[in-house]
Amino acid sequence: MRIGAIGLGSMGLGAARALRRAGHDVTGVDPRAASREAFGLPAVASAAELPAGTEALLVLVVNAAQTRDALAAAAPSLAPGAVIVSSATMSPAEARALAAEWEPRGFHFLDAPVSGGAAKAEAGEMTVMASGSAAAFAAARPLLDAVAAKVWELGAEPGIGATVKVVHQLLAGVHIAVAAEAMALGIRAGADPRALYDVVTSAAGNSWMFENRMARVLTGDDAPRSAVDIFVKDLNLVADMARGLKFPLPLATAALQLFTAASAMGEGQKDDGFVIRVYQAMTGITLPEPD
């Protein structure tokens, strides 16, 4: 299958490589030369340079605006009936608007946000939360088979995939923020951080994010696997979606303010669990140092 892999960032690069490994004819697209070099040839700086007859697009860019621009640039290169797999995290309204724009032009559109992190992407084992027509799923199947360990088929209407992803990010963001809040309080109260971690991760207070992110806080390792600014972006998406629905979100709102504070402090490019530095700045607690 002739595929354009648009966006060679932490997820997109791995997914593009997985597509190539599966035998597809993949052209990588990224304006950053270093990202194109990491992928190898063929790679182009703009979706306008995709080869004619491209049958599928995997769009793994930052947001809806970048997705919109990439699709406009790619359009002249697309084969009739090509499938667009739209995997950036965006609001349900944005996903529906994109589908409404591209389906009438004879293309299939799959609202298909992903999760799993860079390692899973590299292994071709992402989780895809998708909605769209049966025809869109069928057209995208060879692509999905190459990049995903699990494809959730959430409904026939674009927007449901985005909804589930946004709700998932609400949980993920609040879980990271409360992990930081709890660890910081425990440290201030005199608990040993490692013992607290061991107790929580073996008990009913555990979350996937507490276990994963606080392990890095315990070793002072703030290199970003997923950065604070990603949750500033994603929790703002949550807030936008809820505002449109007139839906109050006391917890997600508090978490968004904490990530915003961390970013304002200059920690935006640090690993997201280091939102704990907001509590450190407020209370003067001593965080674990790198070994």
Q: Annotated catalytic sites, by residue?
A: 165
The single-letter DSSP state of residue 272 is G
User: d(Cα 204, Cα 47) in Å, to the nearest integer?
Assistant: 47
Q: Would you say 38 and 60 are in contact if contact means Cβ atoms under 8 Å apart?
A: no
Q: Which residues of 216-232 are buried (b: 16+ CB within 10 A; e: fewer)?
A: bbbeeebebbbbbbbbb
User: d(Cα 89, Cα 227) in Å, to the nearest integer?
Assistant: 15
Positions touching a copy of itself (CB under 8 A) are 92, 115-117, 127, 129, 150, 152, 154-155, 159-160, 163-164, 166-172, 174-175, 177-179, 181-182, 184-186, 188-192, 195-196, 198-200, 202-210, 212, 238, 241-242, 245-255, 257-258, 279, 282-283
Residue 154 or residue 217: which is nearer to a copy of itself going by CB? 154
- In whole angstroms, how close is the CB of 285 to a copy of itself at the nearest point? 9
- In whole angstroms, how close is the CB of 200 to a copy of itself at the nearest point? 6
Residue 45 or residue 245: which is nearer to a copy of itself going by CB? 245
Residue 107 or residue 210: which is nearer to a copy of itself going by CB? 210
Burial of 265 (0-12, 13-18, 19+ CB in 10 A): middle
Residue 134 or residue 208: which is nearer to a copy of itself going by CB? 208
User: d(Cα 154, Cα 168) in Å, to the nearest integer?
Assistant: 14
- In whole angstroms, how close is the CB of 106 to a copy of itself at the nearest point? 27
Q: Would you say 271 and 118 are in contact if contact means Cβ atoms under 8 Å apart?
A: no
- In whole angstroms, how close is the CB of 50 to a copy of itself at the nearest point? 31
Q: How far is CA 261 from the centre of its chain?
A: 21
